[in-house]
Structure 1
Amino acid sequence: MTALHAGFQLRTMGDNDLPAVVAIEDATQPTPWTEQVFRDCFNSHYDCRVIARDGDIAGFAVLSSVLDEVHLLNIAVAPAMQRRGLAWAALRELIADYQQRSMGYIYLEVRASNQGARQLYERLGFQLNGERKNYYRTVDGREDAILMSLALQH
């Protein structure tokens, strides 16, 4: 468990966190992951974390790693808790953690329309690597993904 700020901590996600995590996912994604997808992440030994304070879940992150590469699969903060620096603080902590593990890169995809997330990743030093056409499902079609990466070892 790692202290972030304002009493929030980044800790490992557990089974009893899933109702809150799924509620945040449902509130923040146009095509949300199901509870079973999160359980599959547990079963695959992905790095699943929650942003919590006093037992309340404010957000989460799910990452997978292979060799020296990390893939940020999903990150979200509850709408009522957004714009308070929680995603930024959680990502800074995750980046530091993976640097200590001598990982080489973190990769991610972000919806082309998600300007707030793209700006957050850019402020953290992520670089634009390209795009994937029609990568994300939307309610009425498909949307491009922007590919980004951050070198962890300089």
Structure 2
Amino acid sequence: MTIISDLHLADWAQAFTIENQCHSHPWSAATFQANQGERFINLRADIDGELAGFVICQVVLDEASLFNIAVSPTFQRRGVARHLIMSLSERLIERDVMMLWLEVRASNLPAIGLYESLDFNEVSRRNNYYPTANGREDALIMALTL
């Protein structure tokens, strides 16, 4: 069973480990720690008492941006990311947020499929946005009307 709760400062070291396991170009520790505070909704997913994944989201007025989501390789393909996004959406609706935005690597087809299954729509594309091992790749900008 997946349990969703708030991601607290005490969780950041563990979450940062997952960040580094999951992303080819992870955030720095400083960036990771800077994305907290009253404008953020940061959630953690636990399975059997172990941190399985997290989501970091900033809220500004009636819009939110999903800045980061990661699921430990041990727990991938178990619906953890879906649970995190659905729980995040519920919290955003409670705060009268109207739109949730995100950017995703154009090559990340599993994530794009997940987002589309949750009713996100592609809105735009940012050319050469993300770094890769051999250059850069596009980001898709996706939005969910809440």
Tell me the TM-score range normalised by the shorter chain: over 0.9
Question: Could you tell me which of 113, 129, 143 is aligned with 2:137?
Answer: 143
Relative to 1, partners in 2 of residues 1:40 and 1:117: Cα closer, same or farther, differing over 3 Å? same
Q: Which residue of 1 aligns with 2:67?
A: 73
Question: Could you tell me which of 81, 94, 98 is aligned with 2:92?
Answer: 98
Question: Could you tell me which of 128, 133, 137 is aligned with 2:127?
Answer: 133
Return 9-18 or 97-106, whichever deviates more.
9-18
State the 4+ residue runs in structure 1 displaced beyond 3 angstroms: none
How far apart, CA to CA, are the structure 1 residues paired with 2:116 and 2:5? 25
Unmatched segments (≥5 aa) in structure 2: none
Unmatched segments (≥5 aa) in structure 1: 1-5
Deviation for aligned residue 1:9: 1.6
Secondary structure at 2:27's aligned position in 1? coil
Relative to 1, partners in 2 of residues 1:16 and 1:23: Cα closer, same or farther, differing over 3 Å? same
Alignment TM-score, normalising by the size of structure 1 = 0.88
One-letter amino acid of the structure 2 residue matched with residue 67 of structure 1: L
Q: Which residue of 2 aligns with 1:3?
A: none
One-letter amino acid of the structure 2 residue matched with residue 119 of structure 1: G
- Counterpart contact for 2:39–2:60, Cα < 8 Å: no
How far apart, CA to CA, are the structure 1 residues paired with 2:3 and 2:15? 15
1:84-95 matches, within 5 Å, as 84-95=78-89
Q: Which residue of 1 aligns with 2:115?
A: 121
Aligned pairs, number: 146
Q: Which residue of 1 aligns with 2:42?
A: 48
Q: Percent identity?
A: 37
How far apart, CA to CA, are the structure 2 residues paired with 1:13 and 1:45? 14
Alignment TM-score, normalising by the size of structure 2 = 0.93
CA-atom RMSD, angstroms?
Answer: 1.4
Deviation for aligned residue 1:83: 0.6
For each residue in 1:37-96, what CA deviation from the matched residue of structure 2 results, as whole angstroms up to 9, or x when unmatched?
121112574222211245421000000011100100000101110110111111111112
- Counterpart contact for 1:18–1:35, Cα < 8 Å: no
